[in-house]
Amino acid sequence: MRRYQAFPVPPGKNSLHYWPRAVSPLRVIFNFLVIQLCRYLPSFPLKNFLYRNFLGMKVGRDAAVGLMVMIDIFFPQEISIGENTIIGYNCTLLGHEFLQREWRRGPVQIGRDVMIGANTTVLPGVTIGDGAVVSACSLVNKDVPPGAVVGGVPIRILKN
């Protein structure tokens, strides 16, 4: 079950044209710069400090956000990462999505001791339970129960 708010847009243009009404362009530029820096930083404590203090994310102790992870540039504050969680190389964590006639915004809650494999995309409004494992190259489009092993596009439970 995904939890998000939907915001319809007037007919004519797709919702991506309306992003400046949702968030300040200066804030998006700032977020982009911090996120780009963090994508290359090898230091987990420094990354976590920047995520917490400059982007408003909730990041647990000893969380490890891997190289090239792309955090949502519009709404990074929607993302919460639990203690001792690993986010693999080149993952994308989205707190929003733009569709043709609406855009959506919702929290991403990643529990503690979670492992998310490389090249995975997590959509807004999703909760990944404590101790879950998400295999590489997956699309997390729904909640993941605690302790489950999931994978695929879209995800399905591989082991509970």
* Catalytic residue chosen out of the listed positions 31, 48, 96, 103: 96
Angle subtended at Cα 37 by Cα 151 and Cα 120, rounded to the nearest 5 degrees: 5
Give CA–CA dist 60/82, Å, rounded. 5
Burial 92-114 (b: 16+ CB within 10 A, else e): bbbbbbbeeeebbbbbbbbbbbb
DSSP state of 51: H
Beta bridge partners of residue 65, listed in sequence order: 87
| Residue 96 is among the residues annotated as catalytic for this protein | yes
Catalytic residue positions?
96
